[in-house]
Chains A and B, each alone.
Chain A
């Protein structure tokens, strides 16, 4: 399973980033997470924009992930479903993966000095669910996508 970005309908609102951060916060409440929680939640998805072009990007779960190759502690690995998984307990915060990822999809959580990445929200990604313009979609392996 991968999340596909559709730049032709991405409106650059950044709501996916906000709700991703909430989904990975302690309270799961948007106001508590942003205004009161410490440390502040970190989004796993990033909207790249140079308007009018914009798109949201998160871990591509590459077939041959450079981050996994670069990881010095075995914290990043590819699981049997093909997902790139990050085991925070093994992460030493060397950021080799951050430098290796060609998509900039591994982010640094300054509070823990470790990295965070998209975990596909256990199969129901919040970014896809809340995108107001259907600019993100789930694509299963081998599925084709037709442009609007």
Chain B
């Protein structure tokens, strides 16, 4: 039975014929086949129903002949039944399926970063010029001792407390978990190269670490997730830290599914699964049903790595995050990773992405407070993910209590991503979220890694400038220092949860 689609096109493709030279670059760049050259008519034709608005053709058009913009055609205005709601519903009526999407939550939930402002020094305390004076961004991730015993013999000072393993990073910004399989080999390698060059970390995600990339291991957080893909002793031991993935901000409570067509021979080798088979990550870790079970896995991984690596546990930010985080620390986690409501994904049910979880700002503030109240904040570092857009967000997160910030979407955007949300189609025109060799070639790791290094450098510079303005010369002094934050336009309960005063309050 033929069923006509009632969908409206999402984008308008405007081709300015006075500029189009029919070079066919747009046609070649679009994996969705949105443009076509017709030899008979010697003309370019465009198909708006195929356009995903990724802007690849626009950027590549040598004469700027193309304009891609949201389609103005719309249903009768209705605050309740928006265009998106109608479109989704029609799509389901046509398919009967779960609506999939990619990247992060795009809904209008309050972004608390935009309601928090930072402090600066004026008159009574001097600000610092980071270009003239040293400024410390180095951060140590891992468990810190409860107290420090020193043995002082003249000038010789020895620490006698047994220290637990910590990882030093040169900037409090870490690339978040994005697996080889979810993203292309080229994108994955670019992250590894950039982390290594800048002295920070990337996270392998749950897809393992290809053997030839294990030279980047000392800059890798290797993940052990519910599918256990690619986990072997060398994988664990070549790393800087090991992470147990319980949940992901974009899809709390949901597992993962890498379709078999993406499981190439290389991915199958890395993940240790047969070529062409679906890589299924169960929703829960089937051996973890309690904090005690979690503790067993944490210590199994510590045992496997000779107690030389900090072990991180990553959860999605959910209502009960503070209590869960407390349990995680007591179970032996050295790093608590929290992934918020706006965290990205390669594929997730849209209904989950848009409706499940809590904003990272709230989760971070409440987890940090809970761990402080219980006197165990020193036992774990807090890494936060999901919704960081610039260095201001990063510094605000650190002032709210984070040790460092995981960035995913910003790294992808630096490499070319335009947040078109079509990651799940496997046709990423930017060569990031695809395994098609024609498309993955588009990402040259030499260029992409430089773009990532530039991103880290730019944000680090800006953080130093903001710290200098506050009169602070080390990131350590602003960590959890909520006095440097004030809320603007927030309700009392929000200020309470965040633990910050309102602007103007002293």
**Residue among B19, B22, B23, B445 having the largest count of chain A Cβ atoms under 10 Å:** B23
Q: Can you name the residue of chain A whose Cβ is closest to the Cβ of B25? A: A13
Q: Is A31 touching B25 in the complex (CB atoms < 8 A)?
A: no
Given contacts A30-B63, A133-B447, A134-B447, contact A8 B441 (CB under 8 A): yes
Q: Is A52 touching B62 in the complex (CB atoms < 8 A)?
A: no
Distance in angstroms between the alpha carbons of A34 and B60 in the assembled complex: 17
Q: Is B62 touching A19 in the complex (CB atoms < 8 A)?
A: yes
Q: Is B62 touching A15 in the complex (CB atoms < 8 A)?
A: yes
CB within 8 A of B441: which of A9, A14, A15? A9
Distance in angstroms between the alpha carbons of A14 and B431 in the assembled complex: 17
Q: Is B62 touching A30 in the complex (CB atoms < 8 A)?
A: yes
B457 at interface by CB-CB < 8 Å:
no
Given contacts A31-B63, A148-B446, contact A18 B25 (CB under 8 A): yes
B28 at interface by CB-CB < 8 Å:
yes
Q: Is B438 touching A18 in the complex (CB atoms < 8 A)?
A: no
CB within 8 A of B28: which of A14, A19, A30? A14
Q: Is B60 touching A148 in the complex (CB atoms < 8 A)?
A: no
B437 at interface by CB-CB < 8 Å:
yes
B111 at interface by CB-CB < 8 Å:
no
Q: How far is the CB of B331 from chain A (nearest CB, A)?
A: 42
Distance in angstroms between the alpha carbons of A138 and B22 in the assembled complex: 29
Q: Can you name the residue of chain A whose Cβ is closest to the Cβ of B20? A: A35
B442 at interface by CB-CB < 8 Å:
yes
CB within 8 A of B21: which of A34, A133, A148? A34
Q: Determine the chain A residues whose CB is within 8 A of the CB of B60 once the complex forms.
A: 13, 15, 132
Sorting the interface of chain B by its residue count into under 10, 10 to 19, 20 to 34 or 35 or more gives: 20 to 34
CB within 8 A of A35: which of B21, B62, B444? B21
B370 at interface by CB-CB < 8 Å:
no
Distance in angstroms between the alpha carbons of A11 and B437 in the assembled complex: 10
Distance in angstroms between the alpha carbons of A27 and B22 in the assembled complex: 18
Q: Determine the chain B residues whose CB is within 8 A of the CB of A133 once the complex forms.
A: 441-442, 444, 447
CB within 8 A of A11: which of B24, B62, B442, B446? B442
Q: How far is the CB of A111 from chain B (nearest CB, A)?
A: 18
Q: Determine the chain A residues whose CB is within 8 A of the CB of B63 once the complex forms.
A: 30-31
A10 at interface by CB-CB < 8 Å:
yes
Q: How far is the CB of A121 from chain B (nearest CB, A)?
A: 17
Q: Is A51 touching B19 in the complex (CB atoms < 8 A)?
A: no
Q: Can you name the residue of chain A whose Cβ is closest to the Cβ of B441? A: A11
A125 at interface by CB-CB < 8 Å:
no
B59-102 interface with A by 8 A CB criterion: 60, 62-63
Digitize A1-38: 1 where CB-to-B-CB distance is under 8 Å, 0 elsewhere: 00000001111111100110000000000110011000
Q: How far is the CB of A80 from chain B (nearest CB, A)?
A: 34
B29 at interface by CB-CB < 8 Å:
yes
Q: How far is the CB of B62 from chain A (nearest CB, A)?
A: 6
Q: Is B442 touching A14 in the complex (CB atoms < 8 A)?
A: no
Distance in angstroms between the alpha carbons of A133 and B263 in the assembled complex: 26
Distance in angstroms between the alpha carbons of A135 and B62 in the assembled complex: 18
Digitize A115-144: 1 where CB-to-B-CB distance is under 8 Å, 0 elsewhere: 000000000000000001111000000000
Q: Determine the chain B residues whose CB is within 8 A of the CB of A14 once the complex forms.
A: 23-25, 28
Distance in angstroms between the alpha carbons of A9 and B437 in the assembled complex: 11
Q: Is A30 touching B21 in the complex (CB atoms < 8 A)?
A: yes
Given contacts A15-B25, A15-B60, A30-B63, contact A134 B444 (CB under 8 A): yes
Distance in angstroms between the alpha carbons of A34 and B65 in the assembled complex: 13
Q: Is B29 touching A148 in the complex (CB atoms < 8 A)?
A: no
Q: Determine the chain B residues whose CB is within 8 A of the CB of A19 once the complex forms.
A: 62
Q: Can you name the residue of chain B whose Cβ is closest to the Cβ of A130? A: B62
Q: Determine the chain B residues whose CB is within 8 A of the CB of A35 once the complex forms.
A: 18, 21
The 9 closest A-B pairs by CB, nearest first: A34-B21, A52-B438, A52-B437, A9-B444, A133-B444, A11-B442, A51-B438, A18-B23, A134-B444
| 12 CB-based A-B contacts, threshold 8 Å | A11-B431, A11-B441, A13-B29, A13-B60, A15-B25, A15-B60, A19-B62, A30-B62, A31-B21, A133-B441, A134-B444, A148-B445
Q: A12-B438, A30-B63, A134-B446 given. 17 additional CB < 8 A pairs?
A: A8-B441, A9-B441, A9-B444, A13-B60, A14-B23, A14-B24, A18-B21, A18-B23, A18-B25, A18-B62, A31-B19, A31-B21, A31-B63, A133-B441, A133-B447, A148-B444, A148-B445
